[in-house]
């Protein structure tokens, strides 16, 4: 039991010394502050990083991603043409494309696709 306490105290002291040395060595100087600041294509990084952006642009990007994923779901149907019945494949593809078109028309009616309000 005494050896366990001795080992744990030794490890605690060693960890404390390593953290203290790393803190002393890693002090940043005034010269390194500009080097560590972010560089954004020549813009001054001292201004506010939280610039407002169009929420409508964000919604259009999300809609694009959703339809892009749905298109990637259509691609495997090309590979299944040879191994499945053509009528079943046609019905599944028609149903899937109808669902896509209903979603597109719904977004259009809601005004999500018009850029100027």
d(CA 95, CA 87): 12
pTM beyond 0.75, yes or no? no
pLDDT digits (tens, 9 = 90+) for 12-46: 999 999 999 988 887 665 556 666 666 666 655 56
Low-confidence ranges of the chain (pLDDT < 70): 27-51, 115-117
Mean per-residue pLDDT over the chain, rounded: 79
């Amino acid at each position: 039991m005494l050896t366990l306490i001795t080992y744990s105290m030794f490890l605690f002291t060693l960890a404390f010394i390593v953290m203290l040395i790393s803190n002393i060595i890693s002090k940043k100087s005034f010269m390194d502050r500009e080097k560590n600041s972010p560089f954004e294509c020549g813009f001054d990084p001292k201004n506010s990083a939280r610039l407002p952006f169009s929420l409508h642009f964000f919604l259009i990007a999300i809609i694009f991603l959703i339809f892009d994923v749905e298109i990637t779901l259509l691609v495997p149907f090309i590979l299944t043409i040879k191994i499945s019945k053509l009528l079943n494949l046609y019905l599944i593809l028609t149903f899937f494309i109808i669902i896509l078109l209903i979603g597109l028309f719904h977004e259009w009616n809601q005004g999500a696709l018009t850029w100027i309000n």
